[in-house]
Chains A and B, each alone.
Chain A
Amino acid sequence: MEITGAKILFTIPILGGIKVSETIVNTWLVIVFLFVLIKIFTWRIEKIPNGKQALAEKFVLFIENLVKENTGKTGNKFAAYVGTSFLLSIMCSLSSLVGLRPPTADLATTLSWAAIVFFIIQISKIRTLGIKGYLKSFLSPAFIMLPFNIIGEVAVPISMAIRHFCNIFVGCVIGSLMGVFLTFLSTAVLGNLGVSVPIFKVGLPAILSLYFDLFGSFIQAFVFIMLTMVFVGQAIETEE
């Protein structure tokens, strides 16, 4: 077997051929699914909420409270961004459950998301410190710290991206490896008895999937948004 990156599904024949990978197409599917899900959950919202509306309200308030606690921001936009980030991340990771290659198992995806977080952090800092103060902050406490400060800033999104990517990707890899290994084991042990079905593949992968796909997806999405909020919160607090 071979562990590879995302398959390239088709190429748009402009600008010298834009390759569209599995990751992008799967993200589109996730977006469509999320759109339908959101539409279902907010279908005919009323003042007295029914079950699914209450769930949607709970989610929105949960995200808002998290944002408020961690950044002190009360604006709708940032909360909506955090909510988006969470939903997209978790749904992308969970897409492995229906046999898709999770878009979050592609560094390009998580790194692009983290880049947005990086921009938000930098913009927040500029807003609170002013452009002069912002540039000066790279020289503190001394001029010599400039490269380290820059590395420190850049390390934030990179570490976020790699953490998210690795967790999901490793989940996929381990799943594949387990599949291969259990098939091999089945054949080796039961092959001589004339059982050609890899019977050992039943059971264990499900438990692993429970951890890597369900639990891991949730945890990684949560960690991703928590880090987003913490770093943005720090950027806002630097003014004090």
Chain B
Amino acid sequence: MTNDIVSFSVPDIVFTWLNLLVIFLIVKKFLFKPIKGIIEKRQKEVKDMYLRAEQAEKKAQNLEAQYTELLTKARLEAAEIVKNATEAAQSKADTIVEQAKVKAMELLEKTQAQIQREKDESLREAFNKVSDVVLITASKLIEKEMTMEDHKEIIEKILNDVKTEVR
């Protein structure tokens, strides 16, 4: 038994509609809903990711600016410290050299004075000795013709002349 080629009865139509309803519910519940859900979830995640990346970038930029500033400051500070230290060292060195110079000068003067003194002394001694020797020699040469005082007077005069000349 068959239907006509072109035939439609109420049961056919009702069955077809029921079938359509069933497959519609299946497609909606098992295909569209989960697929849409997963796509939306993914989109949201991607959006979140972009947002997070943007925030991170901003944060990084801020940090970079901060660090650059700190670094610049540190560099300036370091330069100042070095400068100060150099200056301090320079001034100290200058003082030390100055002091050393002064001390050296003093020492030199003292030494020179001492040398002079020693020279004078040794000269005087030498003269004394020479005068003695001359006196003795002279007295030996012209015995008793002159008194000791006369001789001494003459000799001293000569010696003084010599002394002036030596000086």
Contacts and interface: CB of A to CB of B under 8 A. Distances in A.
B27 A23 contact: no
B119 to A, nearest CB: 109
Contacts of B39: 57, 60-61
Interface in A99-127: 106-109, 111-113, 115-116
B92 to A, nearest CB: 72
A136 interface: no
Interface in B28-68: 28, 30-36, 38-39, 41-42, 45
B32 A5 contact: no
B162 to A, nearest CB: 124
A18 B11 CA distance: 7
Interface string A207-226: 00000000000000000000
A22 B26 CA distance: 22
Interface in B9-24: 9, 11-13, 15-17, 19-20, 22-24
A45 interface: yes
B34 to A, nearest CB: 5
B33 to A, nearest CB: 8
Contacts of A7: 1-3
Contacts of B147: none
A113 B24 contact: no
B8 A107 contact: yes
Report, nearest first, the 5 A-B pairs whose CB atoms are least far apart. A5-B3, A108-B8, A112-B16, A108-B12, A80-B28
A240 interface: no
Interface string A169-196: 1000000000000000000000000000
Give chain A's interface secondary structure class: helix
Contact of B17 (A31, A112, A169): A112
A38 B23 CA distance: 11
A87 B19 CA distance: 13
B31 A31 contact: no
Number of contact residues on B: which range applies? 35 or more
13 contacts: A5-B2, A19-B11, A34-B23, A34-B27, A45-B35, A57-B39, A60-B36, A60-B39, A80-B31, A80-B32, A88-B20, A88-B23, A112-B13
Interface string A12-37: 00000011110110011001001100
Interface in A62-102: 76-77, 79-81, 83-84, 87-88
A60 B3 contact: no
Contacts of B12: 21, 23-24, 106, 108-109, 112
A42 B27 CA distance: 11
Nearest to A116: B20
A47 interface: yes
A27 B19 contact: yes
A6 B9 CA distance: 12
A6 B34 contact: no
A132 interface: no
